[in-house]
Amino acid sequence: MTATQPTLRAPSNRARAGALIRSTPAYIVVALVALVVVFTIISPEGRFLDATNLQAVGRNSAGLVLLAVGLTFVLGAGHIDLSVGATLVLSSVVAGTVAVDIAGPPSASGAFPSAGPAIAVAALAAVVVGGIAGLVNGLLVTKLKVNSFVVTLGTMGVATGTAQVLTNGSNVAGIPPDVQTSFGLNSVAGIPLPLVLAVVVALVAGVVLSQTSAGRHALAIGSSSDGAMRAGVNVQRSTIAVFVISGLMAGIAGFLDITRFGTTAISGHETTMLQALSAVIIGGTSLFGGRASVLGSVLATFIPTMLLAGFVMVGVSSFYQNIAIGAVLIIAVWLDQLRGK
Amino acid sequence: MTDRQPPVLRATGLAKSFGHVQALRHGELTVHAGEVVALVGDNGAGKSTLISCISGTHLPDAGEVRVDDRPMPLGSIKAAMEHGIATVYQGLAMAPDLSVAENLFLSCELRRPGLLGRLGLLDKKAMRERAWELMDSLGITTLQDVTLPVGDLSGGQRQVVAVARAVSRAGRLVIMDEPTAALGARQSQMVIETIRATRDRGLGVVLISHDLPRVLEVADRIVVMRLGRVVADVPARDLKIGQIVALMLGEQNDPREESLPA
């Protein structure tokens, strides 16, 4: 009261370094390193550490990374998006159908006359479908004021059903294989292109979440929607924005799916949403909003994909992956609570 | 005082019903620059409704609000903010997971200079420094660190942050709804001192409170509401607590007035 010395202090660099070491991403890095070491030791001839295997892990992670990035915004804003897996499927189906239509019938040599434009338009279609799905979720949540769990549970069914109606339930065949050879199976400096794309998108998303007004507003409404509104935040716009981001991510992931398999995988994504959601929560984003970390989500995404690759390599049924992720999810949240936050 | 200038706020004839309930029948409020006006009344007297009409949270059914003698559009929080009115809400309006500095600048974030700023990047360092300056200028010495989450602060500290935010945004008038409710004596004192610092900056202050001793301590003028109407508007120095209570309860002509406990 009487002294004139400054009473507010900025945290020291040492305090910041300490906080970084205690942060969730640091724990995940330790867990990932442990997984690599364990699987390398028990895999035949240490093949887990092979470039081919690690590339496969990276390629399989790309779509999941994108979904997790989108969900980080949604959870950070205090909502949930159960429809990301279904949106991924719908986007891939629309993109696949568009690609087949534009590419035209293949010549005798198997080459498609307009494969290039077909792929470009397909990519755009996937992103647009994802964006629209996100916009619908956002509008339903903000305008009808229906809980996002219920809204996205509903749109999950709608998106899955629409994808099935469009193709009669079968996967889209006849997509030009160029989509795989030109992008999906390519690498730069040994890193699969889809993963490069996902990481670049994640970097941008991480900057948006932690360094821009839009990111602050998303976390503010997740922390207290009423408080944010009274502080002058446009809560509706921010809410719609996080769902659109989530939808766009699912759309891009839907396109990546085609570039990976050369076809759609309608029934291959039953657990995708749960994997992405688990990764986001393991990565330190609060299920109740207000706290979110894109870095944590991205790192945690590699836990399920590494587990799967490791199990396959050491001859354990891939079904155990789901069990392992379920256990990791609960342990991670429990540890987070123990750290007292 | 500042009688020759137009008042910062002049609200006249405000009325608001919710369904069949006429919460506000005739709301009037005038506040000058550098003046603390306390708005008192029993529960349901219409204080909060009157304030909500002025701060833009509610759209009144009738009435007018003028700021510096210019009419203000009603029913818009944004319009009220743009006219220099900031409100400290009961139950606050903070995002507990965000830091003190982030809350102070929520929806008014500072951006980096140049291209990065145009891309939307925040100037976190500048916000921390400005937060610090703001606290210092209001004589707030209770906070050690503006990067702490607001959820980690005590009730009094949170209230002080809420007041500081309102002060930093209000060009003309700060409205405070029960700023000392649920606070201990020492923390209340902290808030009262911040209110004085706010007035000394030349802002108008409207204070809603049930804490009559503290109201008399800080207010320049007392406006009493009852059943949706303003029933008295008196300089604070002319009033004793017993008289205020009598006005609130509608017993101003009651001979027992003098004997009410002070």
Contact B159, B151 (CB under 8 A): no
The C-alpha atoms of residue B188 and residue B211 are separated, in whole angstroms, by 10
For residue A262, tell me if it sits in a domain: yes
Task: Give the CATH number of domain B9-90+155-250.
Answer: 3.40.50.300
Query: How would residue B4 be classed by pLDDT, with cut points 50, 70 and 90?
Result: low
Is A211 within 8 Å of chain B by CB?
Answer: yes
CB-closest option in B93, B97, B98 to A226: B93
Q: Which of residues 12-51 of A touch B (CB under 8 A)?
A: none
For residue A11, tell me if it sits in a domain: no
Inter-chain contact B106–A216, Cβ cutoff 8 Å?
A: yes
Is B116 within 8 Å of chain A by CB?
Answer: no
Task: Please write the tens of the pLDDT for every residue from B61-100.
Answer: 999 999 999 999 999 888 998 999 998 887 667 899 999 9
* Interface mutation vs chain A, best among B100, B103, B106, B174, most A CBs within 10 Å: B106
**Closest listed residue to residue A73, CA positions, set A333, A294, A271, A223:** A294
Question: Going by C-beta distance under 8 Å and a sequence separation of 6 or more, which residues neighbour residue B161?
Answer: B94, B100, B103, B104, B143, B150, B153
User: What does the DSSP assignment read for B136-185?
Assistant: HHTT--S-S-TTSBGGGS-HHHHHHHHHHHHHHH-SSEEEEESTTTT--H
User: Which chain A residue lies closest to B146 (C-alpha atoms)?
Assistant: A8
pLDDT at B255 over 60: no
pLDDT at B259 over 50: no
Could you give the angle at the alpha carbon of A223 between the alpha carbons of B131 and B198, nearest 5°?
A: 35
For residue A163, tell me if it sits in a domain: yes
The C-alpha atoms of residue A257 and residue B224 are separated, in whole angstroms, by 68
Per-residue pLDDT at B257: 43
- Contact list in A for residue B103 (CB cut-off 8 A) is 231
Query: Mean pLDDT by 10-residue block, N- to C-terminus, for chain A (341 residues)?
Result: 43 60 80 91 85 87 96 97 97 94 80 82 96 98 96 97 92 85 83 94 96 96 92 93 98 94 87 91 90 94 88 84 84 73 47
Question: In angstroms, what separates the C-alpha of B245 from chain A's closest C-alpha?
Answer: 32
Instruction: Indicate the average pLDDT of chain B.
Output: 87
- Contact list in B for residue A216 (CB cut-off 8 A) is 98, 102, 106, 109, 122
- Contact list in B for residue A213 (CB cut-off 8 A) is 107, 109, 111, 120, 122
Per-residue pLDDT at A12: 58
User: Which chain A residue lies closest to B91 (C-alpha atoms)?
Assistant: A227
Task: Please write the tens of the pLDDT for every residue from A14-47.
Answer: 566 666 656 778 888 998 999 999 999 988 888 8
Is B203 within 8 Å of chain A by CB?
Answer: no
Instruction: Indicate the average pLDDT of chain A.
Output: 88
For residue A31, tell me if it sits in a domain: no
Beta bridge partner(s), residue B230: B225
The complex's ipTM?
Answer: 0.81
Per-residue pLDDT at A201: 97
The C-alpha atoms of residue A189 and residue A206 are separated, in whole angstroms, by 23
User: Which chain A residue lies closest to B117 (C-alpha atoms)?
Assistant: A212
Which domain covers residue A286, as residue numbers? 46-334
The number of distinct structural domains making up chain A is 1
User: CATH number of the domain that A59 lies in?
Assistant: 1.10.3470
Question: In angstroms, what separates the C-alpha of A144 from chain B's closest C-alpha?
Answer: 21
Task: Please write the tens of the pLDDT for every residue from B25-63.
Answer: 999 999 999 999 999 998 889 998 999 999 988 999 999
Inter-chain contact A216–B128, Cβ cutoff 8 Å?
A: no
Domain boundaries defined on chain B: 9-90+155-250
Task: Please write the tens of the pLDDT for every residue from B103-127.
Answer: 999 988 999 998 888 888 999 999 9
